[in-house]
Structure 1
Amino acid sequence: MSGPRDYEVVIGLEVHAQLRTASKLFSPAPVTYGLPPNQGVHPICLALPGVLPVLNRRAVELAIRAGLATHGEVRRHSVFARKNYFYPDLPKGYQISQYEEPVIAGGWLDVAVEDASFAQRAEGERRPSGGFAQRAEGERRPSGGFAQRAEGERRPADGAAHTRRVRLVRIHLEEDAGKSIHDPAIAGGATHVDLNRAGIPLLEIVSEPDMRSAAEAVAYLRTLRSVLRYIDVSDADMERGHFRCDVNVSLRPRGSEQLGTRTEIKNLNSFRAVEAALAAEIRRQADLLAAGEPVVQATMAFDPESGRTRVLRRKENADDYRYFPDPDLVPLVFSDAEIEAVRAQLPELADARCARYQREFALSEYDARALTASRALADFFEAAIAASPAPDRAKPIANWLLRDVQRVLNDRELEIESAHVTPRALADLVDAVETGQTTVQSARGLVAELVERGGDPIGWIRERGLEAVSDADVIAKAVDEVIREHPADVERVRAGEAKVLNFLIGQVMRRMAGKADPQQVRARITARISAQ
Structure 2
Amino acid sequence: MSKQYETVIGLEIHVELATKTKIFCSCSTEFGGKPNTHTCPVCTGMPGSLPVLNKQVVEYAIAVGLATNCEITQYCKFDRKNYFYPDNPQNYQISQLYLPICRNGGIEIDTPSGKKTIGIREIHMEEDAGKLIHDEWEECSLVDFNRSGVPLIEIVSKPDMRSAEEVIAYVDKLRLIIQYLGASDCKLQEGSMRVDVNLSVRELGSKEFGTRTEMKNLNSYKAIARAIEAEKNRQIELLEEGKEVIQETRRWDDNKETSYSMRSKEDAHDYRYFPEPDLVPIVISDEWIENIRKRQPELREEKLKRYKEQFNIPDYDAKILTSSKKIADIFEATTAICNKPKKVSNWLMGETMRLMKEEGIEAEELSFSPENLAKLIELVEEGAINNSVAKEVFEIIFKEDIDPKKYVEEKGLKIVKDEGLLIKTIKEVIEENPKSVEDYRGGKKKAIGFLVGQTMKKMKGKADPSMINKILKELL
Q: TM-score scaled by structure 2?
A: 0.88
The one-letter code matched in structure 2 to 1:173 is M
Q: Indicate which of 279, 282, 298 corresponds to 1:332.
A: 282
CA 1:426–1:441: 2 relative to 1, 3 Å: same
**1:143-182 correspondence runs (5 A):** 149=113, 153-154=114-115, 164-182=116-134
**1:133-532 correspondence runs (5 A):** 149=113, 153-154=114-115, 164-185=116-137, 188-388=138-338, 391=339, 393-414=340-361, 419=366, 421-468=368-415, 471=419, 473=423, 477=427, 480=430, 484-486=434-436, 494=444, 506=453, 509-518=456-465
The CA distance in 2 between the partners of 1:331 and 1:490, in whole Å, is: 85
More off after superposition, 228-237 vs 96-105: 228-237
The one-letter code matched in structure 2 to 1:432 is L
Equivalent pair of 1:21/1:58 in contact (CA under 8 Å): yes
CA 1:475–1:15: 2 relative to 1, 3 Å: farther
The CA distance in 1 between the partners of 2:442 and 2:106, in whole Å, is: 59
- SS at 1:88 equivalent: coil
Structure 1 residue 457 displacement after superposition = 1.9
The CA distance in 2 between the partners of 1:2 and 1:477, in whole Å, is: 79
- SS at 1:106 equivalent: strand
The CA distance in 2 between the partners of 1:248 and 1:51, in whole Å, is: 36
CA 1:212–1:505: 2 relative to 1, 3 Å: farther
The residue aligned with 2:52 is 54
Q: Indicate which of 65, 68, 77 corresponds to 1:67.
A: 65
CA 1:343–1:515: 2 relative to 1, 3 Å: same
Deviations 1:194-214, CA, capped at 9 Å, x for gaps: 322222111101112232322
Higher relative contact order (CA 8 A, sep 6+): 1
- SS at 2:159 equivalent: coil
Structure 1 residue 229 displacement after superposition = 1.9
The CA distance in 2 between the partners of 1:21 and 1:173, in whole Å, is: 13
Equivalent pair of 1:420/1:451 in contact (CA under 8 Å): yes
More off after superposition, 188-197 vs 77-86: 188-197
The one-letter code matched in structure 2 to 1:250 is S
- SS at 2:20 equivalent: coil
Pairs aligned (count):
473
Equivalent pair of 1:482/1:507 in contact (CA under 8 Å): no
Equivalent pair of 2:35/2:146 in contact (CA under 8 Å): yes
Equivalent pair of 2:82/2:272 in contact (CA under 8 Å): yes
More off after superposition, 176-185 vs 469-478: 469-478
Equivalent pair of 1:74/1:104 in contact (CA under 8 Å): yes
Structure 1 residue 64 displacement after superposition = 1.0
Equivalent pair of 1:166/1:220 in contact (CA under 8 Å): yes
Q: TM-score scaled by structure 1?
A: 0.79
Give identity over the alignment, percent. 41
The CA distance in 2 between the partners of 1:298 and 1:394, in whole Å, is: 52
- SS at 1:92 equivalent: coil
Structure 1 residue 57 displacement after superposition = 1.0
Structure 1 residue 521 displacement after superposition = 6.1
CA RMSD in angstroms comes to 3.1
Name structure 1 gaps, 5 residues minimum.
114-145, 155-163
The CA distance in 2 between the partners of 1:245 and 1:184, in whole Å, is: 27
The one-letter code matched in structure 2 to 1:176 is D
Equivalent pair of 2:425/2:458 in contact (CA under 8 Å): no
Structure 1 residue 45 displacement after superposition = 2.1
- SS at 2:344 equivalent: helix
CA 1:178–1:417: 2 relative to 1, 3 Å: closer
Deviations 1:332-371, CA, capped at 9 Å, x for gaps: 1111111122222222222211211111000112212222
The CA distance in 1 between the partners of 2:109 and 2:459, in whole Å, is: 48
The residue aligned with 1:9 is 7
The residue aligned with 2:85 is 87
Structure 1 residue 406 displacement after superposition = 3.3
The CA distance in 2 between the partners of 1:212 and 1:508, in whole Å, is: 61
The one-letter code matched in structure 2 to 1:211 is M
The one-letter code matched in structure 1 to 2:123 is I
The CA distance in 2 between the partners of 1:10 and 1:492, in whole Å, is: 70
Q: Indicate which of 72, 75, 78 corresponds to 1:77.
A: 75
- SS at 2:62 equivalent: helix
